[in-house]
Structure 1
Amino acid sequence: MSMEYQANYISEEIKLSSYEDKFFRSDIIFEHHMLIWFISGETKIIQAEGAYYFKQGDIFLIPRNRLATILNYPKGGQPHKTVVMHLSTSRLRHFYADVDVKPRALKSQQIYFFNNHPLLESCLASLIPYFNMKELPENIAALKITEAITILRTIDKKIDDVLANFEEPGKIDLVSYMEKNFMFNLPLEKFGYLTGRSLSTFKRDFRKAFNNTPQRWLTQKRLELAHYQFVEKKKKPIDVCYETGFENLSHFSHSFKKQYGYAPTELLNKTK
């Protein structure tokens, strides 16, 4: 979907992100932990366990290697604007080299909320003037990231379990993972990586587990979820389209009609 997007960078790890247009959607797997401070606009983040809503003033951390559908909206005439700090594995390894911690394994990594925390807000707000500078003070990005990590560790004593965990995804049960994450529209290579497999191994194991190709199975599962959303939740076609992994409404409507013999609007009219 077309949009007026602008991003100012202090470094590759810190940016001021702004969407001026009506709406932006993306299916994402985060390579790094993302610390985000909301300046204006709204975001809906859909993950396997549920949906999260964020607005002006919110501060949150999204752990790496988590699948998400991101829906960004402007609000009240203001653009969708955020300060985003990437907490990369290399940066965190450097930080924790001097810290004696033994992170515990986490079963799941949810989004962490740090709303209205004065230290964290002050740290992120202090970045704003740097985005307009042509010449930046040396090492300012590294210093600011170190400050943010230090504040996070002060606020949340368990955050080391997230930030100091450098393990890559290992080979996990394919069936349970795909049943939980089928609604995210990602390349098959990414699904392979997240389940600890090469693309060829992923396809082979998938065929063995589901007796189907990944693409056919994914489309069918997404359409079944869409049908449920219409019948049980009475959701609008545009919302269902984006929440079940389809790129656009026309492709979604065409696929839905091909599967069920009627369009989403006809189903909604029947169930009123």
Structure 2
Amino acid sequence: MKFNNLQSCHLGPEISPEQFIPEHFFLFLLKGSMVSYDGYKHYSMKPGDYCIARKNHLVRYTKYKDEGEFEKVIIAFDEAFLKRFLERHPYQAEPTNNTDSFLFIHEDKLIHNFVQSLEPYYNGTEQLDDVFVDIKREELLMILLKNNPDLKNIFFNFNVPHKIDLELFMNHHFKFNISLERFAFMTGRSLSTFKREFKAVFNTSPGKWLMKKRLDEAYFLLDKEHKKPTEIYIDLGFEDLSHFSFVFKKEFGVSPSEVGKTKV
């Protein structure tokens, strides 16, 4: 399906660029491709694919441009909007065992038509006119629920994360660059409880453990996988290359670029 002049647009509250998803959102890829990773699974998207990204999940995105462009439609379903929707359209969430971070939706002509319908309201600044935002969000939500009724168990479950296995979670998610407050929330703990139980499990503080774990992984990738420092530092949770190089050399006595040269 051709989407004419529709470019990237966004409806609803802004979604934080950090790797924690604070609200559910609908994602429709118009141009380019994307691979995402949540610590357990990889998810791939190509033009025309669409899905629901679930709140309270950690996800890292890798975007690939097509002819220099990456275009998408993002429609956020924040909790306040969903609760207002429930006042008019009563749904009852039921327990679900689905833990995927991305829920892909089967091909649906109504969704394609909906995305195409956004074009007349698009004002060219990646935002639709405010007066239409909730109307279009409600329209999409009704389409999604009509053809995918089990989504009610995702959208209308307003519970916070429950307490989970700390060691298992951290070993899967240590590469994600989020705050300790986020790690605590994701594991169903207050920050003080998280720090106390972390010390009991790992016999060190969260900050020290995360740094050591990331640096050990970096050394492995440089030494065994022959990766370049520029290829790995962001994926390991470091914000800039100079800081990564500094702490790496402090830990191992050599710079990241020297690791592969130490062997003959």
1:243 aligns with 2:235: yes
1:59 paired residue number: 50
Q: Decide whether aligned partners of structure 1 residues 271 and 165 sit closer, same or farther in structure 2, where only a CA change above 3 A counts.
A: farther
Contact 1:42/1:73, CA 8 A, preserved across alignment: yes
Q: Decide whether aligned partners of structure 1 residues 230 and 102 sit closer, same or farther in structure 2, where only a CA change above 3 A counts.
A: same
Structure 2 gaps of 5+ residues are 1-7
Contact 1:10/1:131, CA 8 A, preserved across alignment: no
2:108 paired residue number: 117
Q: Give the alignment's Cα RMSD to 1 decimal.
A: 3.1
Query: For the residues of structure 2 that align with 1:9 and 1:68, how far apart are their CA atoms?
Result: 19
Aligned residue among 146, 150, 156 for 2:142:
150
1:84 aligns with 2:85: no
Query: For the residues of structure 2 that align with 1:268 and 1:160, how far apart are their CA atoms?
Result: 51
1:256 aligns with 2:257: no
The alpha carbon displacement at 1:191 in A equals: 1.3
Q: Decide whether aligned partners of structure 1 residues 155 and 217 sit closer, same or farther in structure 2, where only a CA change above 3 A counts.
A: same
Structure 1 gaps of 5+ residues are 1-6, 16-25
**Identical aligned pairs, as a percentage?**
30
Stretches (4+) displaced over 6 A: none
Q: Decide whether aligned partners of structure 1 residues 248 and 33 sit closer, same or farther in structure 2, where only a CA change above 3 A counts.
A: same
Query: For the residues of structure 1 that align with 2:41 and 2:262, how far apart are their CA atoms?
Result: 28
Contact 2:28/2:51, CA 8 A, preserved across alignment: yes
TM-score normalised according to structure 2 size: 0.81
TM-score normalised according to structure 1 size: 0.79
1:34 paired residue number: 25
1:93-143: per-residue Cα shift (whole Å, max 9, x none)? Answer: 3334433434223352331123753321221232233231899484x2222
Contact 2:9/2:74, CA 8 A, preserved across alignment: no
> Counterpart of 1:128 in structure 2: which amino acid?
E
1:30-67: per-residue Cα shift (whole Å, max 9, x none)? Answer: 11101111222343322111333334332121100001
Aligned residues: 255
2:60 paired residue number: 69
1:4 paired residue number: none
